[in-house]
């Protein structure tokens, strides 16, 4: 099978959906001639024109607000917030409008909007461009939260998101855009709420998402050389969450490490730990271990930046201590 970059997989999904449905359009900052900050939209302005690739001023509340208005009138906008840090400027539109309109209308008004954004540490862009804020949206009923780790998942999940009749936060990691993986030619989709076992094992379950899946797989490979068998589970979507697959894995291994780049306080990782402990307590041979980011703004300095989030060595050390 061919291998393509993560960014190329995202672009393919967008092109396929825009070709098949004239109601799908793009709206965001620098997505026109510039092609987006990570070049995902390269060439799309020439292909579809300015009526379907709408370049906006730097105004996240306007981008999301306009997209919501279009969505409730039958369009399927893909709205880009260049960095998840800037979602702070559109929280009223996302949390109070997009997430609530279907419920406030008694189910009579859908809001089929995909909000593409990127987050995470890397490239030394400091505290206002490096945050992992998925817990904010994970907390809000009415939003789906998608965080793909591979090019295959990125394409299949984005196609599912665009077809979904509700608002989807589609969160990508800036360090994944140049990663490569197998992606079949032609259309396919990946369902929401279906986790994938990225590596099978028997001694420890490692639950990780987004860029931490890559680090967890590297840690699992290192641990295997010491005879430790790790099962790595990627939820692919945090909302809906395939908690059953995770619990079943923990019942098999008896141990769980939750790996997340976001700071540990009030995190998705904390919630996962609580839910698994509640459902699988009698199967646990050791307390659940969370390996997560420090409770600090992300530093600019590259050494401090690296130290602020989990690395492969941190996951390996946590596994060895657990055993």
Q: What is the CATH number of the domain that holds 285?
A: 3.40.50.920
Residue 35 and residue 86 in contact, taking contact as beta carbons nearer than 8 Å: no
Q: Residue 1: what pLDDT?
A: 87
Residues 6+ apart with CB under 8 A from 7: 38, 39, 40, 177, 178
pLDDT confidence tier of residue 123, bands split at 50, 70 and 90: confident
Between β-strands 289-293 and 256-263, what pairing exists: parallel, antiparallel or unpaired?
Answer: parallel
Would you say residue 172 has pLDDT above 90?
yes
- Verify that 176 and 283 share a domain, yes or no: no
240 in a domain, yes or no? yes
pLDDT, average across residues 27-41? 93
188 in a domain, yes or no? no
State if pTM tops 0.85: yes
- Verify that 34 and 150 share a domain, yes or no: yes
Q: Residue 180: what pLDDT?
A: 97
- Verify that 162 and 254 share a domain, yes or no: no
- Verify that 142 and 213 share a domain, yes or no: no
Residue owning tokens 């109601």: 23
71 in a domain, yes or no? yes
187 in a domain, yes or no? no
Q: What is the CATH number of the domain that holds 85?
A: 3.40.50.970
14 in a domain, yes or no? yes
Q: Residue 219: what pLDDT?
A: 98
- Say how far apart CA 150 and CA 5 lie, in whole Å: 9
Is residue 173 annotated as a catalytic residue, yes or no? no
pLDDT, average across residues 277-304? 96
Instruction: For residue range 294-321, list pLDDT tens digits in order.
Output: 999 999 999 999 999 999 999 999 999 9
125 in a domain, yes or no? yes
What's the token pair of residue 181?
């993986």
Between β-strands 237-239 and 289-293, what pairing exists: parallel, antiparallel or unpaired?
Answer: unpaired
pLDDT, average across residues 48-75? 97
- Verify that 213 and 111 share a domain, yes or no: no
What's the token pair of residue 112?
């089929």
The alpha-carbon radius of gyration of the chain (Å, integer) is: 19
Instruction: For residue range 76-118, list pLDDT tens digits in order.
Output: 999 999 999 999 999 999 999 999 999 999 999 999 999 999 9
Catalytic pick among 12, 29, 60, 80: 60
What's the token pair of residue 16?
């396929």
Q: What is the 3-state secondary structure (H, E, C) of 260-277?
A: EEEECCCCHHHHHHHHHH
Over the range 191-230, which residues count as b (16 or more CB within 10 Å of their CB) and which as e? ebbebbebbebebbbbbbbbbbbbbbbebbebbeeeebeb
In total, how many domains does the chain have?
2
154 in a domain, yes or no? yes
Range of the structural domain that residue 290 is part of? 196-322
What's the whole-number average pLDDT of the chain? Answer: 97
Domain final residue, candidates 158, 182, 206: 182
pLDDT confidence tier of residue 125, bands split at 50, 70 and 90: very high
Instruction: For residue range 148-170, list pLDDT tens digits in order.
Output: 999 999 999 999 999 999 999 99
- Verify that 61 and 152 share a domain, yes or no: yes
- Verify that 296 and 208 share a domain, yes or no: yes
Domain final residue, candidates 182, 204, 235: 182
Catalytic pick among 129, 173, 231, 305: 129
Is residue 129 annotated as a catalytic residue, yes or no? yes
């Amino acid at each position: 099978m061919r291998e393509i970059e993560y960014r190329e997989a995202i672009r393919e999904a967008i092109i396929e959906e825009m070709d098949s449905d004239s109601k799908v359009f793009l709206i965001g900052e620098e997505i026109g001639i510039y092609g987006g900050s990570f070049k995902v939209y390269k060439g799309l302005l020439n292909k579809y024109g300015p009526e379907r690739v709408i370049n906006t001023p730097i105004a996240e509340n306007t981008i999301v607000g306009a997209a919501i208005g279009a969505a409730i009138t039958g369009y399927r906008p893909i709205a880009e917030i260049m960095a998840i840090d800037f979602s702070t400027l559109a929280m009223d539109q996302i949390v109070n409008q997009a997430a609530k309109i279907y419920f406030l209308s008694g189910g009579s008004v859908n809001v089929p909007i995909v909000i593409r954004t990127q987050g995470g540490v890397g490239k030394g862009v400091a505290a206002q461009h490096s945050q992992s804020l998925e817990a904010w949206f994970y907390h809000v009923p009415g939003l789906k939260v998608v965080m793909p780790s591979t090019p295959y998942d990125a394409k299949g999940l984005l196609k599912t998101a665009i077809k979904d009749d509700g608002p989807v936060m589609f969160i990508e990691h800036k360090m994944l855009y140049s990663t490569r993986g197998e992606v079949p030619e032609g259309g396919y989709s990946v369902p929401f709420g279906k986790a994938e076992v990225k590596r099978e094992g028997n001694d420890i379950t490692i639950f990780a998402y987004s860029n931490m899946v890559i680090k967890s797989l590297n840690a699992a490979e290192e641990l295997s050389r010491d005879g430790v068998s790790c099962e790595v589970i990627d939820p692919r979507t945090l909302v809906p969450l395939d908690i059953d697959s995770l619990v079943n894995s923990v019942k098999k291994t008896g141990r769980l490490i939750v790996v997340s780049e976001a700071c540990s306080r009030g995190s998705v990782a904390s919630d996962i730990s609580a839910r698994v402990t509640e459902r699988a307590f009698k199967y646990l041979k050791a307390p659940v271990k969370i390996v997560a980011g420090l409770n600090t703004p992300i530093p600019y300095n590259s050494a401090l930046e690296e130290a602020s989030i989990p690395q492969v060595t941190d996951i390996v050390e946590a596994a060895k201590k657990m055993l």
